Structure 1
């Protein structure tokens, strides 16, 4: 993620999400004794509607040091969550313009690696403008070390016959090419949010605006994504399109299996490839209301040309205290014309030097 991208996307209005806190021991015991009965929506199915967030400290891939361990220890959870409290407190202190840090910002050496790689603090703002999550994600009260539920929490190896992975970030990377807007990433162009907020699968981006609104009727399930104001419409009890068109976020159709909404997505465009897979990729998502403030989200990835068998992960959405507002990306998208204009100036300077050297 580069600094210019964050500048382009940093103009959204968002409400602060409630932390993805786990259940207390008593609450877990009570929950196990008394199964949760989800309220019903107008369509007669469990009500998934509302405003939700998936901001969390838990990564999709498990850090290698945890090996096959699915769950953090209480001590590890405490250390991680206390570290965020300290990070926010330190990061929100007034920056010293004479500190020597570029632009008066926090020293990148003191930041998380992903923040430093993105330019630090969203173009000069302090830590308060970031909302990557403040607690470890739980599933049924278990503090998870990763979303992925493979044995080691890592993606499985690709088949020897699978196409090479260099196309993985195509349409989303954009690094190094400033010839025209189409060469830049989808996020910088305000087409799709950076990361995989919209999905599928839907994943937090690690920075901010990891918020959603779910709406359901008897015919559709609608997911509004705060980041870049993406909206995915899931058609219920309908066949997949067969015209070869690959819309943004793919072609999603759903049906209910008991209390779980199952969504299957095909026709994913190449620009939204997931780990190099798109053409033959099918993503299956399952949404289950498992508590008053919890929606279990499970996803499975199936591409027989890339992996030997389906694989995936899970996490729980937490409620958002507030609503999401329009993400008017282009209203503050100064970075894109700025980068292109800078590239044109560099070309002019290089041309002038070449002409002078030829005289």
Structure 2
């Protein structure tokens, strides 16, 4: 896959109302004596290519309780185990394996035909999130247990993958947004922007009126207008409508008007996301987010990630070029129906009509 520099037009906006402020940046996260450089517009410079790849999970392992920070020994053990697993996954496939069902685990943790990609094609990161030099137990910082809280829609929403409505095989519109190349897989496009199995790079560009975040996955481009007002609630777009303002050295962004398929836990209508971008050292942006979605969660959800500077360039993401997966999925379901079989669930399970 070839590399290329991305170009695009930046849209201007009218300077006006300010977005609400989320939790303040911890002083410990800012490198001692560091002051972000200013760009030609007098703004803190966030430009460049950044990666949020990490082995830190969104939700915390319950064994850590309300503890956000790992000890150095715990972090060393976790990262060492990850290195060993990666070495194993990069090894040549055992040639004695004759059936696809017997394939060993792949990078995603799946086995057999669900693997999809081996380790050669993936880049999920090899290290834990470190903020202020401390390794984290989870991306989520609130609730205190680092777990997504329940809510009115939790039962139904938790059973659906993000961006997936119905989860059946009747038509393309019922497949996940990432499969359809509309937005990136797993919430990588945001907001909030989440690390995924590969393509975790973001390129940030700034003008006096806007900030553009180019997402490597599916080549999404988030345009954050500096100032202005959100459109009426009925006007919804992919990745929502983002309005930002500068709060000292921090870019604060409020996003509303998200399409209902992009809820953090199942499709909801009124999710609001508040993000804070603070350059805390020459090599890192502290990315903080808060998700307000009363229909899905009983309390606001907050999290923190490290966006680390990289000299890498963004890959050209040709999402469906030469990819016959969608055609195969739907054609397979139609063939199964012709054979008197029912296709159920998100994983394509097939059973005989009237069977168990």
Q: Same fold (TM over 0.5)?
A: yes
C-alpha displacement at 1:170, in angstroms?
A: 6.9
Give the TM-score of the pair, scaled to structure 2.
0.81
Counterpart secondary structure, 1:82: helix
Distance verdict in 2 for CA 1:246–1:174, change over 3 Å: closer
Q: 2:134 aligns with which of 142, 152, 160?
A: 142
- Per-residue CA deviation, residues 184-219 of structure 1 (Å, 9 max, x unaligned), is 1111111111101011111112x1111111111111
Q: Work out the CA distance in 2 between the residues paired with 1:335 and 1:175.
A: 19
* Matching of residue 247 in structure 1 with residue 237 in structure 2: yes
Q: 1:114 aligns with which of 88, 109, 114?
A: 109
Higher helix share: 1
Partner residue in 1 for 2:124: 132
Partner residue in 2 for 1:185: 176
Q: Work out the CA distance in 1 between the residues paired with 2:107 and 2:62.
A: 17
Partner residue in 2 for 1:20: none
Partner residue in 1 for 2:186: 195
Q: 1:53 aligns with which of 47, 51, 54?
A: 51
Distance verdict in 2 for CA 1:163–1:315, change over 3 Å: closer
Partner residue in 2 for 1:156: 149
C-alpha displacement at 1:156, in angstroms?
A: 2.8
Give the TM-score of the pair, scaled to structure 1.
0.80
C-alpha displacement at 1:171, in angstroms?
A: 7.1
Q: Work out the CA distance in 2 between the residues paired with 1:328 and 1:54.
A: 21
Partner residue in 2 for 1:263: 253
Partner residue in 2 for 1:24: none
Q: Work out the CA distance in 2 between the residues paired with 1:307 and 1:139.
A: 26
C-alpha displacement at 1:173, in angstroms?
A: 3.4
Aligned pair count reads 316
Mean Cα displacement is larger for which, 296-305 or 62-71? Answer: 296-305
Q: Work out the CA distance in 2 between the residues paired with 1:93 and 1:39.
A: 44
C-alpha displacement at 1:74, in angstroms?
A: 1.3
Partner residue in 1 for 2:97: 99
After superposition, residues 28-43 of structure 1 pair within 5 angstroms as 34-43=32-41
Structure 2 unaligned segments of length 5 or more: list them: 5-26, 342-356
Partner residue in 2 for 1:316: 306
C-alpha displacement at 1:101, in angstroms?
A: 5.3
Q: Work out the CA distance in 2 between the residues paired with 1:198 and 1:174.
A: 18
Q: Work out the CA distance in 1 between the residues paired with 2:191 and 2:2.
A: 22
Q: Work out the CA distance in 1 between the residues paired with 2:123 and 2:227.
A: 36
Mean Cα displacement is larger for which, 288-297 or 81-90? Answer: 81-90
For the Cα contact (< 8 Å) 1:196–1:203, is it kept in 2? yes
Structure 1 unaligned segments of length 5 or more: list them: 1-10, 15-27, 352-359
Counterpart secondary structure, 1:322: coil
* Matching of residue 285 in structure 1 with residue 283 in structure 2: no
Distance verdict in 2 for CA 1:332–1:346, change over 3 Å: same
CA RMSD of aligned residues (A): 2.7
